[in-house]
Structure 1
Amino acid sequence: MFIKIRRCSNIKELQINEEIREREVRLIDSDGKQIGVVPIKKALNIAYEKKLDLVKVAPNAKPPVCKVMNYGKYKYEMSKKEKEAKKNQKVINIKEMRMSPNIEEHDLNVKAGKTIEFLKNGNKVKVSVRFKGRQLGHTEAGRKVLLKFAELTSEYGTIDKQPKMEGRNMVMFLVSKND
């Protein structure tokens, strides 16, 4: 007796029962004991007798490894593990602060305050200075602005990536100190 199971898109697809097309497979019993290399028909019969499914767990092995198991229960356990892993995942957003190389002191302080707010929330901050026209000849001014900005926010964040030119922009990344 085979169980028809609907496929779930988020779980790695495995071949089960008649979907397995190899002549011989290395068989693992439902208890975890290795039975050895057997013809596919014999492996299917063993699965039939135990009223379980034959699942190909290692398709790239020579010969492929199949295990006798309850596939529905296996999929359920895998989806539970996947959900648990998603719960424990930490999402990091990247916020961006844009400036010009000739930014005024007050504007720099306002942007630093907003960046500190982002860093307190655990976000990563991309700080960029955009150069226009002749400003490209004076990239050291942009580097000074970025380093001064990093100094203003140093209490809450550290430099993750040093200032670096990317096209017309000089970019630096800051990360929160509590990470």
Structure 2
Amino acid sequence: MPPHQAIRIAEERGLDLVEVAGNANPPVCRIMDYGKYKFMEAKREHAARAKQKNIVVKEVKFRPKTDDHDFDFKVKHILRFLEEEDKVKVVVMFRGREVVHRDIGYRIIEEVIQRVGDKAIVEKPAGIDGRDMHAILAPRIIEAPKPPKKPKPAKPETNETEVPH
């Protein structure tokens, strides 16, 4: 119908004429309460956002000369982050001429991966980015075991040789 006729009908009903699909040929419009429509859209978006899980990436930094106790302490932090289902970015920072010894960085990252291997999967292996070397670990999602199915009650067995009297 022509736009002026649709506008007149919408005004008679106390509603609005809202363009739903402007790219269609001809454009599609609908007569509705626009305020209520916007409210319902916002409510739908809020519900979708509430169900969404935010992915958090925690960063743990090491140096080539990180002491054993500090290393153990940081690995405990990584394990805690993985248990909270956060991703972990393991970074080895090089300063000055340390960047020449990339093998040390690879060894540090491999040691971290070995220690947290049962709780994490390697999402991105060790790689160099400027003066830093980093790898990304994601939590290993272990599905809860399904409860065993209850066996169906056995049907009473009948002996075909017996004849009821």
TM-score interval w.r.t. the shorter chain? Answer: 0.7 to 0.9
Alignment partner, residue 122 of structure 1: 85
Does residue 1:93 correspond to 2:56, yes or no? Answer: yes
State TM-score, norm by structure 1.
0.72
2:119 maps to amino acid: Y
The runs of 5 or more residues in structure 2 that have no matched partner are 143-165
| Distance in 2 between residues matched to 1:96 and 1:170, nearest whole Å | 12
Alignment partner, residue 32 of structure 1: none
Alignment partner, residue 41 of structure 2: 78
| Distance in 2 between residues matched to 1:118 and 1:144, nearest whole Å | 22
Number of positions where the alignment pairs a residue of Structure 1 with one of Structure 2: 142
Q: How much does 1:71 deviate? A: 1.6
State TM-score, norm by structure 2.
0.78
Does residue 1:171 correspond to 2:121, yes or no? Answer: no
1:163 maps to amino acid: A
Q: Aligned to 1:92, what secondary structure does the other structure show? A: coil
Deviations, residues 90-115 of structure 1 (Å, cap 9, x unaligned): 12222111001233333221110011
Counterpart selection for 1:103 from 66, 70, 73: 66
Does residue 1:52 correspond to 2:11, yes or no? Answer: no
| Distance in 2 between residues matched to 1:93 and 1:157, nearest whole Å | 15
| Distance in 1 between residues matched to 2:28 and 2:120, nearest whole Å | 50
| Distance in 2 between residues matched to 1:91 and 1:129, nearest whole Å | 26
| Distance in 2 between residues matched to 1:100 and 1:41, nearest whole Å | 72
| Distance in 2 between residues matched to 1:175 and 1:156, nearest whole Å | 9
Deviations, residues 102-132 of structure 1 (Å, cap 9, x unaligned): 3333322111001111111111111100112
Q: Percent identity?
A: 37
Q: Aligned to 1:44, what secondary structure does the other structure show? A: helix
Does residue 1:161 correspond to 2:124, yes or no? Answer: yes
| Distance in 1 between residues matched to 2:83 and 2:61, nearest whole Å | 19
How does 1:12-31 map onto structure 2 within 5 Å?
none
| Distance in 2 between residues matched to 1:102 and 1:153, nearest whole Å | 21
The runs of 5 or more residues in structure 1 that have no matched partner are 1-37
Alignment partner, residue 65 of structure 1: 28
Alignment partner, residue 94 of structure 2: 131
Structure 1 stretches (4+) deviating beyond 4 angstroms? Answer: none
